[in-house]
Structure 1
Amino acid sequence: MDWITSSVLVCVAAVVLDRCLGEPVRWHPLVGFGALANGLEQRLNRARGTSVWRGAVALAVLVVPIVVAVQAMAWWLPQPLNLLFGVLVLWSALSLRGLTEHGGAVAVPLATGNLGEARARVGWIVSRQASALDEAGVAAAATESMLENGADAVFASLFWFLLAGPAGVVAHRLINTLDAMWGYRNDRFLRFGRVAARLDDVVNWLPARLTALTYTLLGRRRLAWRCWRSQAPAWDSPNAGPVMAAGAGALGVTLGGPAPYAGGLKSRPRLGEGPAPDAATIGRAIGLIQRGVCLWLLVLAAGAAAAGVLPW
């Protein structure tokens, strides 16, 4: 079986598996990896002003052996088992159903007027101070989380599997996890987490822009394109900016703006145009991601068919 056919089959199977089962509930590999990363960070990042090189060494020690082992496994396994291995790896990296469930857990109580429950639920998926958010703030936080994590946990996983197979998926998810754990601009992680943060910017640069393009094509195209081009450069993240600006424009709502965090109110640029988001906006953001995945799979299948490798 050629590469194009196997890639299409693996992507479709992994998405279906994620839809049916969701993320692994027990023994999720990223949970164990996070515990290992936390222990290594505590050993190497004890002194204030720890060098950038210690963070780089920690990242290499954590990521390289796992990626090499996954690549070796992909080379060693015979074709049928290799396909199954690819499906399992991609499934463990995808979080489409997880996003749907987390977003729905915020949208349902918000739509029924249970602001306290909605605040509690959104506090599980964002780092801002949920207790200080009003209804529009809760909806905005959840919508932003859906759009950004759609790029990180869905489209980037598909992209890296297509580009570099199971090893590419694993490398991306591990780097993304370390960035989430160490990529803070505070005294503890400013230097130690710098390599993880910069490497995450690199590996997500193209997937983020493909995600922004996907949101643009499937939403209010002209508005999404205009917001992407004019608003994204003002955002502090080079990858989240295009994704959320295009997503906000595609949905026709206004995101960004001031947001409360534990350290105080953080001023952020406005993204998108239109009314403030509400509970329905969260569902629309999830639908945008789901349609985007369908579009990617259709494009893959059409490309394979055009190359004459699929029977249809």
Structure 2
Amino acid sequence: MVIALALLLGFVLDARFAEVRRWHPLVGFGGLATRLEARLNRGAYRRLRGLLAVFVLISPISLAAAVLWWWLLITSPFTAIFCGAIGLYFALGGKSLQLHIEPVIKALNTKDLQAAREAVQKIVSRDCQALDANQVACAATESLLENTSDAVIAPLFWFALAGLPGVILYRLSNTLDAMWGYRSDRFLQFGWAAARLDDGLNIIPARLCALAFAACGDAAGAVRVWRQCAHQWASPNAGPVIASGAGALGIGVGGGAFYHGKWCAKPITPGRAPSAQGLQAGLRLVGRANTCVLMLLVLLCWGIYS
């Protein structure tokens, strides 16, 4: 019952308040990670150094969260609900994702291409200054779909499975992957451990997200595009999520883009051209999928832990 109620409360807090703009715990964690990377990412054995950095950054915090969580479950279940919900709230990013997508839709609807480029640049790592309107909508759609898995479905899943320590472990590893998980000269070796850990933790949530997209949209289209295109993505988890979501919406996404000045080829899914209307439909699909997964996990937790 504790986990089920904390899931509901944490989700409601995110939907109501979005991410805090000041004093977010991940900002401090990111600063610590940056300083440690500057010290360790040099010389030989960079893959081993990256593994050590991940262990040093994540293990103490996750262990402390586990001790606190189990102590609260034993001594004060009500306090556990409150603390668990707050921890989940800080790990979720569903409302903030919506707030980043809405300016892209507004700019595209008013045909302000430069504003659309600037808005989408805040949520993607590709170079956006030369994108046309369809490419902006495509980039935003891909980001919306992929980040729904990372910022909503995965935190909900890991909280349902392992409570506060589970969601903290996931969010810290996902943050390190976002900082270090690039195939650049600087991070190809050092970021290997962070990227592999994040891949492992997202295997089940990504496919749960893909299934939710199929259940809440065009199921036949989602399954067809998932089967045809998911394996073409370099990421084992982004592929099913983006392909299923694009198929559920009937929108074609993908295609190559420049990342930090380097061209990166991507698969293209079948469907109509991305647009502001498609992005709006994407927000509705994501909202339904998030609610569907939340209710499923709440019912499972209520039945298992009661």
Specify if TM > 0.5.
yes
Match of 2:164 in 1: 166
Q: 1:188 to 1:265 in 2, by over 3 A?
A: closer
Q: What secondary structure, in the 3-state scheme, does the structure 2 residue paired with 1:270 have?
A: coil
Q: What is residue 114 of structure 2 aligned with on the other side?
A: 116
State the SS of the aligned residue for 1:25.
coil
Please name the residue that 2:66 is paired with: 71
For the pair 1:284 / 2:277, whether they are aligned, the reply is no
Unaligned runs of 5+ in 1: none
- Shifted more, 181-190 versus 132-141: the winner is 181-190
Of 298-307 and 101-110, the range deviating more from structure 2: 298-307
1:54 match:
49
Once residues 101 and 77 of structure 2 are traced to their aligned partners in structure 1, the CA distance between those partners, rounded to angstroms, is: 37
Deviations 1:241-298 (A, max 9, x none): 0000001000101000122333233221112x21110012222222212111211233
The 1:302/1:41 distance shift into structure 2, 3 A limit, reads: closer
Give distance in 2, aligned partners of 1:307 and 1:72. 22
Displacement of 1:308 in angstroms is: 11
Answer yes or no: is the 8 Å Cα contact 2:41–2:190 preserved in 1. yes
2:24 maps to which of 19, 24, 28: 28
Which residue, out of 274, 293, 300, partners 2:271?
A: 274
Query: What letter is aligned with 1:259?
Result: A
The answer as to whether partners of 1:140 and 1:278 remain within 8 angstroms in 2 is yes
Contact 2:18 2:96 in 1 (8 A): yes
Indicate the residue corresponding to 1:17 in structure 2: 13
Aligned equivalent of 2:140, options 139, 142, 150? 142
Deviation at 1:56, TM superposition (A): 0.5
Contact 2:251 2:274 in 1 (8 A): yes
Q: Which amino acid aligns with 2:185?
A: D
Q: Which one-letter code corresponds to 1:298 in the other structure?
A: M
After superposition, residues 1-312 of structure 1 pair within 5 angstroms as 5-47=1-43, 50-77=45-72, 78-271=76-269, 273-303=270-300
Alpha-carbon distance change, 154 to 305 in structure 1, aligned in 2, over 3 angstroms: closer
Using the TM superposition, give the Cα deviation of residue 7 of structure 1 relative to its aligned residue in structure 2, in angstroms: 2.0
**Cα shift at 1:301:** 4.7
The alpha-carbon deviation at position 306 of structure 1 amounts to 6.7
Structure 1 residues 11 and 301: CA distance shift in structure 2, 3 A: closer
Give secondary structure in 2 for the equivalent of 1:256: coil
C-alpha distance in 2 between matches for 1:93 and 1:300: 17
CA–CA separation in structure 1 for the residues paired with 2:146 and 2:298: 26
Q: Secondary structure of the equivalent of 2:263?
A: strand
Q: Deviations over 1:138-170 (max 9, x none)?
A: 000011001000000100000000111110101
Matched letter for residue 12 of structure 1: L
Change in Cα spacing, 1:94 to 1:299, as seen in structure 2 (3 Å) is: same
Distance in 2 between residues matched to 1:175 and 1:57, nearest whole Å: 13
Any unmatched runs of 5+ in structure 2? none
In 1, distance between residues paired with 2:160 and 2:40? 35
Q: Give me the whole-angstrom Cα distance separating, in 2, the residues matched to 1:300 and 1:201.
A: 21
Take 1:208 and 1:145, find their aligned partners in 2: how far apart are those partners?
A: 14
- Residues 92-126 of structure 1: CA deviation (Å, up to 9, x unaligned): 00111101100001111111111110100111110
| 1:195 to partner: Cα distance | 0.8
Q: Is the 8 A contact 2:14 2:94 kept in 1?
A: yes
Superposed CA deviations along residues 182-204 of structure 1, whole A, max 9, x for unmatched, are 11112111111111111111000
SS at match of 1:191: coil
Q: How far, CA to CA, are the matches of 1:39 and 1:138 in structure 2? A: 34
* Conserved 8 A contact 2:173-2:194: yes
Tell me the TM-score normalized by structure 1: 0.93
Taking the aligned partners of 1:187 and 1:307, their CA distance within structure 2 comes to: 47
CA gap 1:304/1:266 in 2 versus in 1, 3 angstroms: closer
8 Å CA contact retained: 2:126, 2:258:
yes
Identity of paired residues, percent? 47
Partner Cα distance (1:300, 1:156) in 2: 11
